[in-house]
Amino acid sequence: MHTAPSHQPPRPLVAAGSPLPETHTSGSPGTDTAGSLLWIKDPAGIHTSSRRSVDASRGLVVNTRTGAIVELVAAGVEPTRHDRVLDASAHVVLPGLINTHHHFYQTLTRAWAPVADAELFPWLQGLYPVWARLTPDALESAVTVAIAELLLSGCTTAADHHYVFPAGLEESVDIEADVVQRLGARAMLTRGSMSLGQDDGGLPPQSTVQDHDAILEDSRRVVETFHQRDEAARIRIGLAPCSPFSVTRELMRDTAQLASELDVRLHTHLAETIDEEDFCRERFGLRTVDYLESVGWLSSRTWLGHAIHLDDSEVARLGAASVGVAHCATSNMRLGSGTCRALELEEAGSPVGLGVDGSASNDGSNMIEEVRAALNIQRLAAGPARVPVARALNWATRGSAAALGWEGIGVLEPGARADLAMFTLDELRFAGAHDPVAALVLCGAHRADRVMVDGRWVMEDGALAGQDLERIIARQREQARLLMRG
């Protein structure tokens, strides 16, 4: 639900770069939190994404030491305890947005003219040889850009699907993990894979595929090295063979068995295009969902990228198995792939989240813009009444968390992690807007003002903590130039 303070008139808005004063109060007797209880007070609007009907119109209290939300504050009351106050009267507060499907490395190949007007298969065939030239420096730059963009858009958790491991880039996930930790984000990093090259009837060139056993060995290494299981986990690992047209049936099956053994999530692209459906029929004699079941993936451990071309029975089967879905509206429109049946999948039992997809098919990494895209494309199919603003926001928050199988994020409620995004409404696009929460989506918010992850500000007054954006941009341009030069 979302609520706004009830008193009138509306509060004046301040510029995004204006400092927000924190005031200190004396802690309650016996408090041992050493000034760690921060009241984010009286927001202009708040959307909690909680399934419970709650009044949080006076904001919330977070424990900046433990990184957890401790209280929602209702109208007309004061918090039970607080040490500091942040005046949020010019802000709309959301749970940190969660991106369920991305390819960080693709920030290096945005708007590339040879594939700017291509559908998925020719788009991939044009880009595979470019991606095969990735270097560790190029990947580190690309991941930095992707995560910085996501944080700026109010996204606190991102799932990345990295499946390109050319010679010299075998430790790609290690590079990603370093960047995630440096920028202070939260991430589900998936060890992707491609094992079915052109020589064996697949789509990718042989230079981009890896040996079956090497993939499984490194998958185990990555999980054992980086996967965190506690409630405050910042990095988790999933296993993610790329797609039916780029991995063998045996790798899909063996990866599912390894994921079960290691108790981690499974991810892949599925049913994104008709071409993929035709490939599965020709190679396996099965439709995509039948193929998924045949390799042991039809389970609640799995979430899928796209899941567009499904019939009614397949929607029901995915829902019954609680298979999650990453709805990537902008990418689907950009490539002309089709529209995910997000409403039917959710109503059948599938957790539905949102994903920006790769920055070569979006061509950006902006989660709040993705909410608007999903809202509009689903309204085009089903009408506004079935797709209220709150439903689209819930896809980007608690729905995405459920798709990733990650508890304690995607909601603002006591006990959840203190991941949140704060937006101002001071731009021209919001002039004349009334409902603060609806305005974020309908009027097209594109950048947060403050972002907190685990109780720590990673972005304040529109600036990422400790990051030089001009330097990041310059480095990315140079790496993109080198990549294209070969």
Is there a domain that residue 53 lies in? yes
Please report the pLDDT score of residue 23 as a whole number: 57
C-alpha to C-alpha distance for 376 and 370, rounded to whole angstroms: 10
Give the total residue count for the chain: 486
Q: Over the stretch 287-334, which tens digit does the pLDDT of each residue have? A: 999 999 999 999 999 999 999 999 999 999 999 999 999 999 999 999
Q: Over the stretch 344-373, which tens digit does the pLDDT of each residue have? A: 999 999 999 999 999 999 999 999 999 999
Residue 7 has pLDDT above 50, yes or no: no
Please report the pLDDT score of residue 26 as a whole number: 39
Maximal CA-CA distance, the chain: 72
Please report the pLDDT score of residue 8 as a whole number: 34
172 and 230 housed in the same domain? yes
Is there a domain that residue 418 lies in? yes
Is there a domain that residue 376 lies in? yes
88 and 102 housed in the same domain? no
The DSSP line for 105-174 is GGGGGTT-GGGTT--HHHHHHHHHHHHTT--HHHHHHHHHHHHHHHHHTTEEEEEEEE----TT-TTHHH
Edge-to-edge order in the sheet of strand 420-424: 2-3, 45-47, 91-95, 420-424, 450-453, 456-460, 463-464
Q: Over the stretch 67-109, which tens digit does the pLDDT of each residue have? A: 999 999 999 999 999 999 999 999 999 999 999 999 999 999 9
pLDDT band at 34 (very low <50, low <70, confident <90, very high): low
C-alpha to C-alpha distance for 192 and 190, rounded to whole angstroms: 6
Q: Over the stretch 409-448, which tens digit does the pLDDT of each residue have? A: 999 999 999 999 999 999 999 999 999 999 999 999 999 9
Q: Over the stretch 258-283, which tens digit does the pLDDT of each residue have? A: 999 999 999 999 999 999 999 999 99
Residue 32 has pLDDT above 70, yes or no: no
Q: Over the stretch 131-152, which tens digit does the pLDDT of each residue have? A: 999 999 999 999 999 999 999 9
383 and 419 housed in the same domain? no
- Give the H/E segment covering residue 476: helix 469-485
127 and 207 housed in the same domain? yes
19 and 109 housed in the same domain? no
220 and 115 housed in the same domain? yes
pLDDT band at 11 (very low <50, low <70, confident <90, very high): very low
Please report the pLDDT score of residue 35 as a whole number: 83
Please report the pLDDT score of residue 22 as a whole number: 57
CATH code: domain of residue 127:
3.20.20.140
Q: Are the beta carbons of 136 and 162 closer than 8 angstroms?
A: no
Average pLDDT, the chain: 93
Please report the pLDDT score of residue 28 as a whole number: 37
Q: Are the beta carbons of 200 and 225 closer than 8 angstroms?
A: no
122 and 259 housed in the same domain? yes
Q: How far is CA 203 from CA 53, 125, 195, 245, 282, in A?
A: 49, 7, 10, 6, 14
pLDDT band at 4 (very low <50, low <70, confident <90, very high): very low
C-alpha to C-alpha distance for 231 and 108, rounded to whole angstroms: 33
- Using DSSP, state whether 11 is helix, strand or coil: coil
Chain centroid offset of residue 309 CA: 22
C-alpha to C-alpha distance for 302 and 321, rounded to whole angstroms: 9
Q: What pTM, to 2 d.p., does this model score?
A: 0.93
Q: Over the stretch 192-207, which tens digit does the pLDDT of each residue have? A: 999 999 999 999 999 9
Full domain range(s) for residue 40: 2-96+410-454
C-alpha to C-alpha distance for 36 and 50, rounded to whole angstroms: 24
Domain count, the chain: 2
Residue 12 has pLDDT above 90, yes or no: no
Residue 14 has pLDDT above 50, yes or no: no
Q: Over the stretch 55-64, which tens digit does the pLDDT of each residue have? A: 999 999 999 9
